[in-house]
């Protein structure tokens, strides 16, 4: 099976979600002695190539000397074109903002079947059946794709990166590509990429520390940040905490917010309303701190601490600092 993976780099570095996707593609290709082509967007240098080769990229198409067309339509055209040129029947995207925006457009252009929320390798490849999460991660379903080609979006933190070294062929795509449709929208011009406060990206973070209305006031947001810093995770919040302006960036998680699937989700002062849980149900482990032992969050939590944030958090942070001073661990 020939596979095309779309991977965005950040200053030439492949993010963890990209390594997960590449490892997924490599594992899938190995089933049929297939090959993996990467469509690389963003900065690209020898280290980028070496990293992609280490995780199994047989071929790397470097878009427009590393810079990609900024409009979704133009970029989707280039990806669909690359899939066509390389004879790729399976096109894979990460669940990043761009990945989720591009994937359905590429599927429409290729008249390919489309599945998002994929979290494991296909059950069968002929016919092609794969499992995906539905109802905000509460249930799973198996989808059969009947079209000859298919576009899939892999959920972050569901497939562990695994090395599978090869020596990739590198092809630089032309800067100017003749795209059909002169009336294409101009798209968005990317001026700069600014990463908030050196934080881990919420969508792909392994650990997420989240604060809710139970924090009571803005000053207590410091507990969320300190714990996330110690664990190397990202911060998130419930909608009321966002409305209050306690959560300085990235927005809230939930039904109307972001949907995330970290390895560990720590909910501080969050009641566990269904609309909130809709965004975090796919977490591998939920840990809750709440002063109300009857709070619904405890029904979803794997571990819970019943107590007041103001008493629990300083002690938890102190214990964790002592532990980290003596031990090394990586939860991300």
Ligand X SMILES: Cc1cc2nc3c(=O)[nH]c(=O)nc-3n(C[C@H](O)[C@H](O)[C@H](O)COP(=O)(O)OP(=O)(O)OC[C@H]3O[C@@H](n4cnc5c(N)ncnc54)[C@H](O)[C@@H]3O)c2cc1C
* 59 neighbors 5 (Cβ within 8 angstroms): no
CB of 75 to ligand X, least distance (A): 29
CB of 259 to ligand X, least distance (A): 9
Q: What angle do CA 145, 148, 151 make, to 5 degrees?
A: 60
Return the number of the residue (93 or 252) whose C-beta is nearest ligand X.
Answer: 252
CB of 299 to ligand X, least distance (A): 12
Closest to 249 measured CA to CA, from 200, 284, 216: 200
CA dihedral sign of residues 7, 103, 98, 71: positive
**Whole-angstrom Cα distance, residue 220 to residue 211?**
9
Per DSSP, the residues of 251-298 read --BSSSSB----SEEEEES----HHHHTTTTT-SEEEEEES-TT-THH
Distance of CA 223 to the CA centre of its chain: 25
Return the number of the residue (41 or 270) whose C-beta is nearest ligand X.
Answer: 270
Return the number of the residue (131 or 291) whose C-beta is nearest ligand X.
Answer: 291
Return the number of the residue (175 or 294) whose C-beta is nearest ligand X.
Answer: 294
Return the number of the residue (131 or 213) whose C-beta is nearest ligand X.
Answer: 213
Alpha carbon distances (Å) from 308 to 80, 115, 222, 291, 316: 53, 43, 15, 5, 12
Closest to 134 measured CA to CA, from 318, 282, 253, 264: 282
CB of 292 to ligand X, least distance (A): 3
Task: Characterize the bridge pairing of strands 13-14 and 113-118.
Answer: unpaired
CB of 253 to ligand X, least distance (A): 6
- 77: how many CB neighbours lie within 10 A of its CB? 20
Closest to 161 measured CA to CA, from 43, 45, 329, 7: 7
CB of 219 to ligand X, least distance (A): 13
Q: What is the dihedral of CA 221, 222, 228, 230, to 10 degrees?
A: -170
Please report, as ranges, the residues that interact with ligand X according to CB under 6 A. 212-214, 216, 238-241, 252, 254-257, 269-271, 273, 275-276, 279, 290-292, 295, 308-310
To the nearest 10 degrees (0 to 180), the angle between helices 72-86 and 97-110 is 60
Q: What is the dihedral of CA 116, 204, 159, 57, to 10 degrees?
A: 90
DSSP 8-state assignment for residue 135: T
Return the number of the residue (96 or 220) whose C-beta is nearest ligand X.
Answer: 220
């Amino acid at each position: 099976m020939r596979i095309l993976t779309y991977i965005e780099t950040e200053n030439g570095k492949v993010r963890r979600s990209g390594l997960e996707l590449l490892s997924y593609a490599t594992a899938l290709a190995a089933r049929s002695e297939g090959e993996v082509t990467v469509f690389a967007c963003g900065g690209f240098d020898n280290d980028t190539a070496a990293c992609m080769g280490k995780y199994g990229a047989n071929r790397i198409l470097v878009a427009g000397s590393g810079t990609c067309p900024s409009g979704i339509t133009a970029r989707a055209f280039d990806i669909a074109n690359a899939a066509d040129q390389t004879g790729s029947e399976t096109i894979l995207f990460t669940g990043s903002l761009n990945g989720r925006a591009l994937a359905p457009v590429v599927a429409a252009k290729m008249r390919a079947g489309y599945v998002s929320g994929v979290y494991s390798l296909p059950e069968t490849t002929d016919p092609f059946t794969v499992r995906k999460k539905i109802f905000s991660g509460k249930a799973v379903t198996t989808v059969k794709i009947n079209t000859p080609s298919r576009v899939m979006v892999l959920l972050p933190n569901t497939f562990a990166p695994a090395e599978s070294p090869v020596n990739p062929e590198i092809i630089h795509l032309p800067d100017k590509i003749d795209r059909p449709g002169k009336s294409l929208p101009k798209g968005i011009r990317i001026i700069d990429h600014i990463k908030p406060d050196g934080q881990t990206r919420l969508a792909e973070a392994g650990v997420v520390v989240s604060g809710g209305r139970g924090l009571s006031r803005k000053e207590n947001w410091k507990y969320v940040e300190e714990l996330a810093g110690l664990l190397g995770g990202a911060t998130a919040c419930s909608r009321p905490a966002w409305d209050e302006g306690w959560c300085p960036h990235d927005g809230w998680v939930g039904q109307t917010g972001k949907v995330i699937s970290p390895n560990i989700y720590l909910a501080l002062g969050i009641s566990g309303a269904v609309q909130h849980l809709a965004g975090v149900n796919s977490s591998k482990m939920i840990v809750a701190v709440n002063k109300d032992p009857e709070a619904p969050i405890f029904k979803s939590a794997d571990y819970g601490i019943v107590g007041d944030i103001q008493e629990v958090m300083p002690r938890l942070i102190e214990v964790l600092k002592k532990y980290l001073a003596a031990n090394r661990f990586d939860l991300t």
